[in-house]
Amino acid sequence: MSKITLGLKSPPIVEAVLDIECDFAPGQSVVGLKEAATAKFSARYPKLHTLFAQQLTLELGADKRIENDAQVPSVVAFQFLQDDEKQLIQLREKGYAFNRLAPYSSLDDYLPEIRRTWDIYRDLATPILIRVVRLRYINRLDLPFASHKLDLDSYFTAGPRIPDEDRLALWGFLNQHQLVEEETGHHITTVLAAGKAEGDKLPVIFDNTVAAEIDADPIDWQTLEATIQSLRNLKNRVFADTLTEKCLSLFQ
């Protein structure tokens, strides 16, 4: 498959996430990885955040009082962040994630670090099988917005519509598509959501997520990288096909 590039001088990426879901080895837990992972990651990712989850059960008793049963919070992930918190590695019970915040350059620039940290995770967690590979790109599009007027068709090829543009002014919107690429079976979820107007600009979040279900050996980097590149091409194509040339020109 040929590589699809966007060539934007000022890409509107707020955050990019590569997520790899795995099957853990029997008896393995993310809590048991903390000490060894800290030793491996702390040189480049010195900040550690621990993520917890807590299950809460609410029941209506005979006296119509609400009774709750809260379980002790459990550790679900460790995040290792760089000093500026622009880049982080996340270790979960079900996988690994690499997050990069703006400024974002190119996936090519981050792949060597992704492979290095994935190999560390793989050695520590000994996952059995890769199940899902997911790329998620969150973009912020600051669109010209005067007097609550915006010609949506001039910026989006597949987006929201106003039922009566003469008598109704745009206040906000939330638009979602869930798709499947027939050739590969990859899943796509796109979300367009308008925020609160800021002066003469309307910030629109374009959340573009693509995912592949695979059964791959965690040691097989060639298959993993090929899957990432396939998802990258799909993500770029969906991005370019969702926005018009006028919209894309805002980031040139």
Using only C-alpha atoms, the chain has a radius of gyration, in whole angstroms, of 21
State pLDDT tens for residues 2-33. Answer: 566 677 889 999 999 999 999 988 878 889 89
Question: Is 204 strand, coil or helix?
Answer: strand
State pLDDT tens for residues 77-99. Answer: 999 999 999 999 999 988 999 99
What pLDDT, on a 0 to 100 scale, did the predictor assign at position 68?
Answer: 60
Assess contact for 53 and 154: CB atoms under 8 A: no
Of 241, 238, 211, nearest to 227 by C-alpha is: 211
Query: Residue 219 carries which DSSP code?
Result: T
| pLDDT exceeds cutoff 60 at 109 | yes
Question: Is 185 strand, coil or helix?
Answer: coil
For the chain, which residues make up each domain, given as ranges?
13-251
What pLDDT, on a 0 to 100 scale, did the predictor assign at position 242?
Answer: 96
